[in-house]
Amino acid sequence: MEALLAPVETVAAFPLPELAVAVPSEEAVAEVLGEDWAFVYRNRWHLLGGAAVTVALTATSLLLGFLAGFPAGAIETYGSGYSRSLVRKLGVLLRGTPILVIMIYAFFVLPIGIVVGPVVAVLEGLDSLLAPTPLAVPAVGEAFVAATIALGLRSAAYQSQIFRGALASVGEGQMRAARSVGMSRLGAIRHVIVPQALRRSVPGFQNEFTIVLKDTSIAFAIGLGELLKRSNDLFTQQTTAVLEIILAASLIYFVLTFGTNRGLDYASERYAIPGEGT
């Protein structure tokens, strides 16, 4: 019993070995690749932090685009004449306006502060409670919200067309068959048409993801610290390392795009409708 009550370090017969991870030093990088690459290596966490903002902005924008784009695509396919015309005109307006213009308008014209203020206050309160733990919540700035609104609405305009095409690709005979067994029109759309349309929309959504990921760099114009903005910060510190910084940022963009596209390829194959070619 005394042994059981002893401190842990005195009864641990098999201590865990220490894992040694070889991390190259800045001096070693400078010796092999030069001072400019050593500068990039020294600021790698600054770039990776920008990549994290890029990923978060991509995710929130695509989510907003889906929440607005899927209903818009359904309205264009099954809606009444007035609602269909309104959604179609809004989509043309958003697709025809440069994303930079939309983002600047969202940041400087929309009253984002009214919405962001309470959110930031809540996040700061949570952060003060959770700061000693890894669960600390980062604050959300107006630039991030404006960029999400701009990219999300523009993505919604494109996603609506992806979903409209996917909904239209489901044969009308399936709607008639569902109605013939007593399902309502809404029930047939929900339980028969939509599940097939979502699966068929994965390839188009994959292309939209790539576009939104690259368009997050436009948030540089409103001061959001995403990957391109942080790369520019490094440009101004060491102008001789411009090429190295561009290559490092390009590699990060490539890894994000390639990795996610491979994941979406797997999802497309995994959830493909049996009997349909991929």
Domain boundaries in the chain?
33-131+140-270
Q: What was the pLDDT predicted at 152?
A: 95
Distance separating the N- and C-terminal Cα atoms of the chain: 65
pLDDT tens column, 122-157: 666 666 665 655 444 455 678 888 999 999 999 999
Residue 16 confidence (pLDDT): 45
State how far the Cα of 139 lies from the Cα of 73, in Å rounded to an integer.
Answer: 33
Q: Which residues of the chain have pLDDT under 50?
A: 1-14, 16, 19, 134-137, 278
Long-range contacts of 51-56 (CB under 8 A, 24+ apart): 51/227, 51/252, 51/256, 53/144, 53/224, 53/225, 53/226, 53/227, 54/213, 54/216, 54/217, 54/226, 54/227, 54/256, 55/256, 56/144
Residue 123 in contact with residue 140, Cβ under 8 Å?
Answer: yes
The third-level CATH classification (topology) of the domain covering 33-131+140-270 is MetI-like fold (1.10.3720)
Q: What is the pLDDT of residue 32?
A: 67
Q: Report yes or no: 249 and 228 within 8 Å, Cβ to Cβ.
A: yes
